[in-house]
């Protein structure tokens, strides 16, 4: 697991001099991986640690504290993903008022140079930074020359048509298109959390579900999905069907992810569960009776099983 550093004024000696990929890295999609790959090349050539620099919480949360949930990936999952890519140091710096007021030059000198003593910096082509987003890649090139670190800019990464971006992934999920999100991410989108105690109504109708609240994760379109799920402590993924929504038939409440795992019996309460969204089956709807809902749930289960035959479980 990568070393996590949250204070640029107290960087351990073994994390100084790193080749740094700087960005948001929400979702760690192909564009993000290209930036990290660029930094990795310079890290290898210069025998320097490979690092990423991320603001946590994200600037968007600082400037828009009441905005809707937008995270594609929780920080813990992002750390795991970055570590698996070979990142040795993850700088997770708090984005606060002081950071928001730094000019581009002040940020580079104070954080990158004096604090981290970086040897190289890689960013994406549309990266902006500093107070009022005044700095861009041209600014960074000038400052890299002034302060003596190498610098590279990665061009637009596309899926053959459109730019791969966190925004495009969020839009796909909110539109009920997890397949498009998976293409952009390079893998299924995974929601995760701790299984909560619920009303336990599902077990009375033959569909016991594991219930999760998504919290700060982006909320996908309400509806029924074919999913793969992995239970804490298990290596393999299990097939299932999930509903994300307010359950209008049994009484509306705050949005909840309810996962029914095929051929599973056991207690999942308080366990961590990962849920990979494969395909959207239908929108959530209100049925005239509980019996009608159960009939539809059987149909949804069969539909999910057919879909998952052609969509294998995640690799890891």
| pLDDT tens digits, one per residue of 275-296 | 999 999 999 888 877 788 889 9
Residue 268 half-sphere exposure toward CB, CA atoms < 13 A: 25
The H or E element that residue 154 is part of is strand 150-154
CB 35 within 8 A of CB 82: no
* pLDDT (average), residues 184-196: 95
Model confidence at 174: pLDDT above 80:
yes
Model confidence at 206: pLDDT above 70:
no
Model confidence at 102: pLDDT above 70:
yes
Q: Which of 36-50, 88-102, 187-201, 274-288 has the lowest mean pLDDT?
A: 187-201
Domains of the chain: 3-154 (3.40.50.620), 178-309 (2.40.30.30)
What pLDDT band is residue 265 in, cutting at 50, 70 and 90? confident
* pLDDT (average), residues 168-184: 96
Nearest by Cα to 10 from 72, 64, 91, 95: 91
What's the pLDDT at 204? Answer: 53
What's the pLDDT at 198? Answer: 67
- Residue matched to tokens 């890519």: 85
What pLDDT band is residue 200 in, cutting at 50, 70 and 90? low
* pLDDT (average), residues 6-23: 97
Model confidence at 199: pLDDT above 80:
no
Nearest by Cα to 157 from 168, 149, 144: 168
User: In the 3-class helix/strand/coil scheme, how is 74-142 assigned residue by residue?
Assistant: CHHHHHHHHHHCCCCEEEEECCCHHHHCCCHHHHHHHHHHHHCCCCEEEEECCCCECHHHCECHHHHHH
Question: Is pTM beyond 0.85 here?
Answer: yes
CB 249 within 8 A of CB 290: yes
Q: Which of 116-125, 126-135, 141-150, 263-272 has the lowest mean pLDDT?
A: 263-272
Model confidence at 202: pLDDT above 60:
no
Q: How many CB atoms lie within 10 A of CB 37?
A: 16
Model confidence at 26: pLDDT above 70:
yes
What's the pLDDT at 187? Answer: 94
What pLDDT band is residue 64 in, cutting at 50, 70 and 90? very high
The token duo for 31 is 């564009």
Residue 244 DSSP one-character state? E
**Structure confidence by residue, pLDDT tens digits, 221-232:** 999 999 999 999
> Taking all residues of the chain, what is their mean pLDDT, rounded to a whole number?
93
**Structure confidence by residue, pLDDT tens digits, 228-262:** 999 999 999 999 999 999 876 565 678 999 999 99
**Structure confidence by residue, pLDDT tens digits, 137-167:** 999 999 999 999 999 999 888 876 667 899 9
């Amino acid at each position: 697991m990568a070393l996590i550093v949250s204070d640029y004024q107290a960087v351990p000696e073994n994390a100084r001099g790193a080749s740094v990929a700087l960005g948001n890295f929400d979702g760690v999609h192909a564009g993000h991986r290209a930036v990290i790959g660029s930094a990795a090349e310079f890290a290898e050539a210069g025998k320097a640690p490979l690092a990423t620099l991320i603001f946590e919480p994200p600037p968007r949360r600082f400037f828009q504290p009441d905005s809707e949930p937008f995270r594609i990936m929780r920080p813990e999952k992002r750390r795991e993903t970055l570590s698996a890519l070979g990142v040795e140091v993850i700088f997770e710096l708090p984005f606060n008022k002081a950071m928001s007021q730094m000019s581009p030059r002040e940020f580079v000198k104070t954080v990158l140079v004096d604090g981290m003593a970086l040897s190289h910096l890689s960013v994406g082509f549309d990266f902006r930074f500093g107070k009022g987003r005044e700095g861009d890649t041209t600014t960074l090139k000038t400052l890299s020359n002034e302060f003596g670190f190498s610098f590279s800019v990665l061009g637009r990464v596309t899926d053959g048509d459109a730019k791969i971006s966190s925004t495009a992934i969020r839009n796909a999920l909110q539109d009920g298109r997890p397949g498009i999100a998976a293409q952009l991410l390079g893998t299924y989108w995974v929601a995760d959390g701790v299984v909560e105690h619920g009303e336990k109504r599902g077990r009375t109708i033959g569909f016991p579900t594991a219930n999760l609240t998504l919290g700060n994760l982006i909320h996908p379109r309400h509806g029924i999905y074919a999913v793969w799920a992995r239970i804490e402590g298990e290596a393999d993924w299990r097939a299932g069907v999930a509903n994300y929504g307010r359950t209008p038939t049994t009484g509306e409440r705050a949005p909840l992810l309810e996962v029914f795992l095929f051929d599973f019996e056991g207690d999942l309460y308080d366990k961590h569960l990962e849920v990979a969204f494969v395909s959207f089956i239908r929108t959530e709807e209100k049925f005239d009776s509980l019996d009608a809902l159960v009939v539809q749930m059987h149909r949804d289960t069969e539909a999910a099983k057919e879909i998952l035959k052609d969509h294998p479980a995640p690799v890891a």
